[in-house]
Structures are given as structure tokens and as C-alpha cells.
């Protein structure tokens, strides 16, 4: 991968997710998942002890806003819009990624990778020993992203994805070991 592909998407601001983001997160989930999380599920996850959420807020450049105006759109119509998010939770020295989604128009631009890497860095700084997630067996793009970031398949949940699907699908359980320096103080800032 070229060096420029690894740089942070410059048109985004990254910040912690909060309950104020629930409506936008529910919209993102509806655009991203066959069976989307409800606003209640998202709110419950964010309010839970150990919640670790991260949002990518689109901040178009002046050039992009000018181009939007010149093509009949309104500048700022997407300014500040939530276009990607990750929700996880920490339990003792382990974490789980529950939700990673990117708006369809921003996929394949490394935004999901950036969200994942930022959250993994936060987990590492907090000396989280293992990070788990489940991913649909057929979701090759997500599996590749996770493998490229140190996750390995450690198990299978048969027919885990069944609600709202004609054919149930297995979930792969993936795990990544923490990459923190030994002997340093554990950070609670995740």
C-alpha cells in the first residue's frame, strides 16, 4: 500500500461518539447493514459501562464546497455529517468491536481502516490484551481489513446472522492481541 493511502482522510474530524450522535448513527446503520441496529440498541451500547465509540465527521474542503455550489448543491449541505463510526466496549483487559460502518459514498477510501486503527491505538494505549469481533463469513472486504490489522479467525458462530435474512449466515469470531509496551501504566482514556 502506498504511503499516501495510509494517511488520515483529511476531510474528516474524528471524535468520541456520544448519545447526541444516536440519530445519525441509526441512519448510518440503516445504510450499512442488512439488519440495522436500532437507535435504542445504539443508545444502549453507548451508555453502557466501558463503551468506546468513535465518529468520523465529514469536513469538506473549501474546494469541495465551491464545487458543490457550482453544481447546484448547497455548500455545507453535508458539512459536519457523520459518515463513519465504530462502537466497541471494554471489559477488564479485553475489548469487543460491536459496530463498524462507513456511509456508502465514502467506502473504499480508507475511512473504515482509519476508524479501526484509531480505536485499536486507543485500546493498545489502555493495555487491552485482546480485541474480539464478529464478521459475516461472506464479508470478504471486512475480513481482509481485519486481517490486515492483526486479527485472526479464532472461531465460528453458526447461523449467527439469521434475522431478516433468507439464508442464515455464520459469523467468524476474530481476535487481535494487544500491542502495548510492557511496563507502562494502563491508560483509562479509551
The pLDDT of residue 80: 73
Q: Which of 96, 134, 160, 169 is catalytic?
A: 134
What CATH number matches the domain at 3-177, 3.40.50.300, 3.30.70.260, 2.60.120.40, 3.40.630.30? 3.40.630.30
pTM: 0.79
The pLDDT of residue 50: 92
Pairing of strands 130-136, 152-161: unpaired
**Maximal C-alpha separation, the chain:** 57
Name the strands in the sheet holding 51-58, side by side, starting at the edge strand that comes first in the sequence.
12-16, 51-58, 82-91, 94-102, 130-136, 169-177, 152-161
Tens-binned pLDDT, residue by residue, of the chain (190 aa)? 444 443 345 689 999 999 999 999 999 999 888 778 888 999 999 999 999 899 999 987 644 444 444 444 444 334 578 999 999 999 989 999 999 999 998 988 889 999 999 999 999 999 999 999 999 999 999 999 999 999 999 999 988 887 667 788 899 999 999 876 454 444 455 5
The pLDDT of residue 178: 81
The pLDDT of residue 52: 86
Active site residue 114: no
Q: Which of 58, 132, 146, 161 is catalytic?
A: 146
Active site residue 160: no
Q: Where are the domains of the chain?
A: 3-177
Alpha helices in the chain (DSSP H): 3-6, 22-32, 39-47, 62-70, 111-125, 140-148
118-164: pLDDT as tens digits? 999 999 999 999 999 999 999 999 999 999 999 999 999 988 887 66
The pLDDT of residue 121: 93
The pLDDT of residue 16: 93
Amino acid at each position: 500500500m502506498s504511503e499516501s493511502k495510509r494517511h488520515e482522510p483529511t476531510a474528516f474530524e474524528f471524535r468520541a461518539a456520544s448519545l447526541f450522535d444516536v440519530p445519525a448513527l441509526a441512519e448510518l446503520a440503516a445504510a450499512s447493514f442488512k439488519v440495522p441496529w436500532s437507535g435504542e440498541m445504539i443508545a444502549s451500547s453507548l451508555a453502557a459501562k466501558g463503551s468506546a465509540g468513535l465518529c468520523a465527521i465529514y469536513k469538506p474542503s473549501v474546494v469541495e464546497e465551491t464545487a458543490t455550489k457550482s453544481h447546484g448543491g448547497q455548500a455545507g449541505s453535508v458539512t459536519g455529517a457523520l459518515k463513519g463510526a465504530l462502537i466497541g466496549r471494554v471489559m477488564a483487559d479485553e475489548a469487543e468491536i460491536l459496530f463498524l460502518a462507513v456511509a456508502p459514498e465514502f467506502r473504499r477510501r480508507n475511512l473504515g481502516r482509519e476508524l479501526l486503527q484509531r480505536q485499536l491505538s486507543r485500546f493498545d494505549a489502555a493495555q487491552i490484551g485482546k480485541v474480539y469481533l464478529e464478521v459475516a463469513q461472506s464479508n470478504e472486504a471486512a475480513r481482509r481489513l481485519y486481517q490486515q490489522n492483526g486479527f485472526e479467525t479464532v472461531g465460528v458462530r453458526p447461523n449467527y446472522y439469521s434475522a431478516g435474512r433468507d439464508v442464515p449466515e455464520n459469523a467468524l469470531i476474530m481476535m487481535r492481541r494487544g500491542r502495548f509496551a510492557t511496563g507502562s501504566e494502563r491508560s483509562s482514556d479509551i
